[in-house]
Structure 1
């Protein structure tokens, strides 16, 4: 990940302020990624429920 290399370089240079900005960016990216994965999982669960209902309707006939 490019951000980690940049972070390492900034720390080696002693540029703590810029390094902390990179850390904050990484935190936001992580939060966003978790939200996206949660939304995807929710959609999959909804799709599974729809499939189960459809299968039950088919088996009832």
Structure 2
């Protein structure tokens, strides 16, 4: 099974900065397109459904 790190927090908390630092630090880290469930801004996100989130283990 593949493993990952989930960064969660408010805007401007440093999630993108942390992601950039990790990908530069070690090649085992890779950035994935952000997943979004819900409404609002969609640019830069991979949109998903609550059902898909359940399958991923998020609920």
Fold-level similarity (TM above 0.5): no
TM-score normalised over the length of structure 1: 0.28
Q: Highest CA radius of gyration, 1 or 2?
A: 1
Structure with bigger RCO (C-alpha 8 Å, 6+ apart): 1
Identify, as 1 or 2, the structure richer in strand.
2
